[in-house]
Amino acid sequence: MYKVFVNNTPIILSSKKGIEDYETIHIKDVEFPKIIRDILKKEDAGQEAKYHFYHKTEDKLLEHLYAKLPVVIAGGGKVYNSNNEILFIRRNGKWDLPKGKVEKKEHLETAAIREVEEETGVTGLEITKFLYKTYHVFKRSGEFRLKVTYWFEMKTDFDGELVPQKNEGITKVKWKNRKKAKKALTNSYANIKKLFSHDYMS
pLDDT higher than 80, residue 47: yes
pLDDT higher than 70, residue 201: no
pLDDT band at 200; cut points 50, 70, 90: low
Q: Render pLDDT for 108-142 as a digit per residue (tens, 0 to 9).
A: 999 999 999 999 999 999 999 999 999 999 988 88
Task: Find the helix or strand (DSSP H, E) in which 64 lies.
Answer: helix 58-68
pLDDT higher than 90, residue 168: yes
Give CA torsion, residues 31, 36, 38, 44, to 10 deg. 180
Question: Residue 191, CB half-sphere, CA atoms under 13 Å: how many?
Answer: 26
Provide mean pLDDT across the span 99-105: 95
Domains of the chain: 2-68 (no CATH), 71-201 (3.90.79.10)
Provide mean pLDDT across the span 14-32: 93
pLDDT higher than 60, residue 39: yes
* Reported pTM: 0.92
> Which stretch of 3-7, 115-119, 170-174, 196-200 has the lowest confidence by average pLDDT?
196-200
Q: Mean pLDDT of all residues in the chain?
A: 94
Question: Does residue 59 sit in helix, strand or coil?
Answer: helix
Tell me what pLDDT residue 197 has: 78
**Nearest alpha carbon to residue 118 among 52, 163, 72:** 163
